[in-house]
Amino acid sequence: MYSKKVMDHFNNPRNVGEIENPSGVGTVGNAKCGDIMRMYLDIDDNGIIKEAKFKTFGCGAAVATSSMATELVKGKTVEEALKVTNKAVMEALDGLPPIKVHCSLLAEEAIHAALWDYAEKHGITIEGLEKPVNDIGEKEEAPEEDY
């Protein structure tokens, strides 16, 4: 049911933990399943993400997607990190079962929430970044594709 990569990132999640004094931190949840994800980013003066860490209280797919999401945003600029969508995370994990696609939305939104926090703290606007929602369940009405 799950790809080898999903199992690997679930069993050995990368970048678990917290960053002290992060440049940006964001927390999102899904009220429907009760899962919560918090993403910490350390961003340098050039807008490059040096470090990304996460804490996820959630299902296996949420753990695997947050792990992969942190791996994907590390070393990227803020603008590039915005392109790390839930679809990109799923592709990097060789797919997720359709009923688990929503879990990857948590990862995308957690990145956005951390970037939003970073932008607010620095008084900047990140083009293309919309204010994140606290409860990802609000976004679930959007049509989902099969992966």
Residues contributing to the site for ligand FES (CB under 6 A): 30, 33, 35, 58-59, 61-62, 103, 106
Q: Is 103 a catalytic residue?
A: yes
Task: Pull the structure tokens for residue 16.
Answer: 């678990």
Active site residue 59: no
What's the min distance (Å) between Cβ of 10 and ligand FES?
11
**What SS3 class is residue 48?**
strand
Give the whole-angstrom CA distance, residue 91 versus residue 108. 13
- In 3D, which of 37, 34, 147 has the Cα closest to residue 99? 147
User: Could you tell me which of 3, 12, 13, 21 has the C-alpha nearest to residue 37?
Assistant: 13
| Least separation in angstroms between CB 33 and ligand FES | 3
Compare residues 43 and 59 and give the one whose CB is closer to ligand FES: 59
Least CB distance to ligand FES at residue 110 (A): 11
Catalytic residues: 33, 103
